[in-house]
A and B are shown apart, each in its own frame.
Chain A
């Protein structure tokens, strides 16, 4: 199954590149100001490379908490939107991106979590613990290593947003790359639960499986 990866096209004009970089920097600054509650860590995200795919792990990340966890315990489904970004040269120079929506629910009888990757319903995890479902989500979002420049310094950034119950959800079959890009291109709502982690700089060749 091909992940939802985007490779950024190389800029042709240095002036355009500079303007775009400034715009991106401003957006990042605005986002950082607007997302005051966002959890940011520069060391909690660990990239791995295996089978031509780059995945991340985050031992300290727990997104099944708070309001979302409460909704899950109430028997509701809670979608989580994930964005994995790989930047090269600078943190704002995105060279690859993967987006996924995972729908998590909690079995009120078995007291276990289940998760489905919306892009392909057959990809699911059943009877998982909270930690297990968090790890499962990270295992199922990745970028193709072939899309990353070799020999350059890279950064990985992971963003997660819990979809609020009042948000209008695209139909399960209608969730697509454009929708997820649009979701992550706008600021999260003040009450929306979200998490963001960054990795330390790394090179593709130095990654371990």
Chain B
């Protein structure tokens, strides 16, 4: 049995997108008759942060937001929400702005956060443990001064990639330019890398894939300037560059570079319909193209597309996720696809599926929830072009919910079963959000 603590339901604690969730037309906060704001006759369609930035709010603050969406504009309630967010973010001032909604008689609420006074926030962003693969954890400190944010992270990740890496991330963000429609960022990462024995064995053996761009590097440096444009909220486009240096390669005198152009198109929206149903769509496409024009020693293109849709009403919810990816050319290990982790194909061991990852990925998942109960079905495969894909499946059941006094946290406890011939070993998954 293995124990994995995963960052569960991150979307609920990292608020950066619209929060069209559960309306409460008969909420106690509604006092429409006494609201002297002429806009109190309009229905709140969505609540977003004006700068499109991701802010971490408490579960109860998110619940307040959910209650307001779908209800009539209530100036007093919006003022209270603004003050609550101001207190949680320790911001200088938080105000709200109403704009026309997509439908007549509907308005959007944009929350404007002024952090001119400057704040420093330290937190453990996520923490989980895998008895086979070790700890994964991220601690971060963010200093915000006006529209500038500096973030420093220390992390150890044995879950996301084929390699196990630990190191630091330092990031600067210019949060709001052109009235919040542009964000600039620069990130520097420095990692030390380790590998599972099965990965090293595969790299040394005859089964080493010809599409692999580099061997087992011992360190990785990354410099990433980027700009994010709000094309038409909530549609955003991120363009940038990623200069990667792979060091300490066996039998390599000099580091190998993997310098790529980055493009990411993302759409994330939530809707609240009549009758209280809630829908959410999160879709994105990213392209990383490493080219010799940028002085890269490796040339490849990496495509990754994902789409997730969820529908919930009352106590029930259904979520469907599809992910597909393809790599052309010779990409290094950190670019190759892996499933069988805490996010995709739960219950499987990624090193058993493919210890060096693949250059093709297909994955789908269906989850059903009733109150705190969750059941899910995962299927997917990673493989190399030209080889047959072996589709794997898993099912699971679990519970999830908030942590009460730890308002920013949620937890997930699940039992996942990899479906395979012969013995089936269930995997216990326990995760926490911070």
Contact A109 B97, CB 8 Å, known A121-B36, A126-B38:
no
Would you give the shortest CB distance from A166 to chain B, in whole angstroms?
8
B75's partner among A76, A114, A121 (CB-CB below 8 A) is A76
**What residues on A are CB-neighbors of B38 within 8 Å?**
105-107, 113-114, 126
B97–A105 touching, CB < 8 Å: no
B interface with A by C-beta (< 8 Å): 34, 36-39, 42, 73, 75, 95-100, 104-105, 107
Would you give the shortest CB distance from A80 to chain B, in whole angstroms?
12
B95's partner among A74, A105, A113 (CB-CB below 8 A) is A74
A108–B36 touching, CB < 8 Å: no
Would you give the shortest CB distance from B117 to chain A, in whole angstroms?
14
A74–B36 touching, CB < 8 Å: no
Residue A116 at the chain B interface, CB threshold 8 Å: yes
**What residues on A are CB-neighbors of B99 within 8 Å?**
75, 108
One digit per residue, 1 when the CB lies within 8 angstroms of any chain B CB and 0 when it does not, for chain A 14-25 equals: 000000000000
A116–B36 touching, CB < 8 Å: yes
Among B38, B39, B97, B104, the most chain A Cβ lie within 10 Å of the Cβ of B38
CB nearest to B38 among chain A residues: A114
A108–B34 touching, CB < 8 Å: no
**What residues on B are CB-neighbors of A106 within 8 Å?**
38-39
Other A-B contacts than A77-B36, A103-B36, A126-B38, 5 sampled, CB-CB below 8 A, are: A75-B96, A77-B37, A108-B39, A108-B99, A172-B34
- Please classify the interface of chain B as helix (H, G, I), strand (E, B), loop, or mixed, using the class held by over half of its residues: mixed
**What residues on B are CB-neighbors of A126 within 8 Å?**
38
A74–B96 touching, CB < 8 Å: yes
A74's partner among B42, B98, B100, B105 (CB-CB below 8 A) is B98
A172's partner among B36, B96, B107 (CB-CB below 8 A) is B36
**Bound Cα distance A40, B42 (Å):** 39
CB nearest to A121 among chain B residues: B36
**Bound Cα distance A107, B99 (Å):** 10
**What residues on A are CB-neighbors of B36 within 8 Å?**
77, 103, 105, 116, 118, 121, 172
Contact A75 B95, CB 8 Å, known A109-B42, A109-B100, A109-B105:
no
A105–B107 touching, CB < 8 Å: no
CB nearest to B42 among chain A residues: A109
**What residues on A are CB-neighbors of B105 within 8 Å?**
109
**Bound Cα distance A76, B97 (Å):** 7
Q: Count the A residues whose beta carbon is within 8 Å of the partner chain — how many?
A: 18
**What residues on A are CB-neighbors of B34 within 8 Å?**
172
CB nearest to B73 among chain A residues: A75
Would you give the shortest CB distance from B204 to chain A, in whole angstroms?
63
B97's partner among A75, A103, A114, A118 (CB-CB below 8 A) is A75
A interface with B by C-beta (< 8 Å): 74-77, 103, 105-109, 113-114, 116, 118, 121, 126, 165, 172
**What residues on A are CB-neighbors of B42 within 8 Å?**
108-109
B37's partner among A75, A109, A118, A165 (CB-CB below 8 A) is A75
Would you give the shortest CB distance from B298 to chain A, in whole angstroms?
50
**Bound Cα distance A109, B98 (Å):** 10
Contact A105 B39, CB 8 Å, known A75-B107, A76-B75:
yes
**Bound Cα distance A74, B93 (Å):** 15
Sort A-B residue pairs by CB-CB distance and give the 3 closest, nearest first.
A75-B98, A114-B38, A74-B97
CB nearest to B39 among chain A residues: A75
Would you give the shortest CB distance from B259 to chain A, in whole angstroms?
44
CB nearest to A77 among chain B residues: B37
B37–A105 touching, CB < 8 Å: yes
Mind listing 26 A-B residue pairs with CB under 8 Å?
A74-B95, A74-B97, A75-B73, A75-B96, A75-B97, A75-B99, A76-B37, A76-B75, A76-B95, A76-B96, A77-B37, A105-B36, A105-B38, A105-B39, A107-B38, A107-B39, A108-B100, A109-B104, A113-B38, A114-B38, A116-B36, A118-B36, A121-B36, A126-B38, A165-B95, A172-B34
Would you give the shortest CB distance from B217 to chain A, in whole angstroms?
52
